Amino acid sequence: MNKTEIRRILQEKRQELESLLRSKVISRFTALKGTINFKTQNGAIRFFRYEKRKCKYLKKEDKKEISDLCTKHYVTRLKEAASKELEQINSCLEILDDGDGSDVNKTYGELPECIKENTSPSIFTDEGYARRWQEESFNTRWDMKNRIHETPRGDKVRSKSEWMIACLLTKAGIPYRYEAQLDLNLGFCIYPDFTVLNKRTRKEYIWEHFGKMDDPKYVKESFMPKMRDYYAAGYLPGEKLLMTFESEGHPFNITQAKQLIKQFLT
């Protein structure tokens, strides 16, 4: 986990705590007069309300007052804990923001090339692991003639939608392999559109784009057989398999692709 991820998590938690402290419910209960206390006598719990050195025994009929004061007791301590945690988070964020910009995941990238070539960063950092993963050789489809769309990374893909996916992955810094051979352990190999890597978790996903969902022949001869094979091999949507779709009336949705990247790959 790098500084950016840590900062994001801390900022989300800070927003949650600030929202809690601004809560009208908390304000309403902390504004109640008096405090609750209790004693155990002969195995029975007796509640007392204290205010300005005066003590009042609360009977069973005072159930609402008991409930309100017990809630005040809880939210008062909750507010104290939230304030303390918020102070700690702000201190951590100040340290991250005031640093010298150093980041363990950037260290390898800043090394001279001759040093990089003679060391193995993959066991230490996410970026090092991703670089090693990206540089590994892999088998791909022999048919290259329809790869006509060149991506920002320099490789070529078969469709404009695949080109857009490649652009989104590159922009997000997500390593990918295009049409890399995958053995499903079903007696044959396939060549998914993309094999992608979550650098933080080091988990691989298959990303398939199905581009002719309004074509019955395509659905029957391409989509359905692929889904059958993926399910048989344990590649379930959201687990190991990511998918995007389009048809003539519903073009490729960039927003949905970005959501997949954010949820599963960053």
The full DSSP string for 25-66 is: HHHHHHTSSSEEEEEEETTEEEEEEEETTEEEEE-GGGHHHH
Rounded to whole angstroms, the Cα distance separating 165 from 168 reads 5
The total number of structural domains in the chain stands at 2
Q: Supply the pLDDT for residue 150.
A: 93
Same domain assignment for residues 58 and 138: no
Whether 113 is in a domain gets the answer no
Flag whether 224 is in a domain.
yes
Whether 60 is in a domain gets the answer: yes
Q: What is the CATH number of the domain that holds 179?
A: 3.40.1350
Residue 98: per-residue pLDDT: 66
Range from 56-60, 86-90, 127-131, 174-178 carrying the lowest mean pLDDT: 127-131
Rounded Cα–Cα distance for residues 9 and 15 (Å): 10
Pair (176, 139) in one structural domain: yes
Give domain status of residue 110, yes or no. Answer: no
Which pLDDT belongs to residue 103?
63
For residues 67 and 145, membership in a common domain is answered with no
**pLDDT, mean of residues 4-26:** 88
Residues 130 and 90 in one domain: no
- What's the predicted TM-score (pTM) here? 0.58
Is residue 35 located within the same domain as residue 76?
A: yes
Q: Give the residue numbers spanning the domain of 88.
A: 3-97
pLDDT tens per residue, range 116-171: 777 765 556 787 788 889 989 999 988 878 888 999 999 999 999 999 999 999 99
pLDDT (0 to 100) of residue 94? 85
Q: Please report the pLDDT score of residue 122 as a whole number.
A: 59
Q: Is 119 a domain residue?
A: no
> What pLDDT is recorded for position 111?
76
Return the higher-pLDDT residue of 240 and 128.
Answer: 240
Distances (CA, A) of 81 to 7, 77, 224: 21, 6, 54
Q: What is residue 127's predicted lDDT score, i.e. its pLDDT? A: 79
Beta-bridge mates of residue 177: 195
Question: Is 109 within a domain?
Answer: no
Distance CA(150)–CA(227), nearest Å, equals 28
140/259 same-domain check = yes
Determine what percent of the chain is predicted with pLDDT higher than 90: 61
Same domain membership, residue 159 and residue 64: no
Q: Could you tell me if 130 and 261 lie in one domain?
A: yes
| Whether residues 91 and 151 fall in one domain | no
pLDDT band at 219 (very low <50, low <70, confident <90, very high): very high
**Are 27 and 134 within one domain?**
no
Both tokens assigned to 66? 């008991």
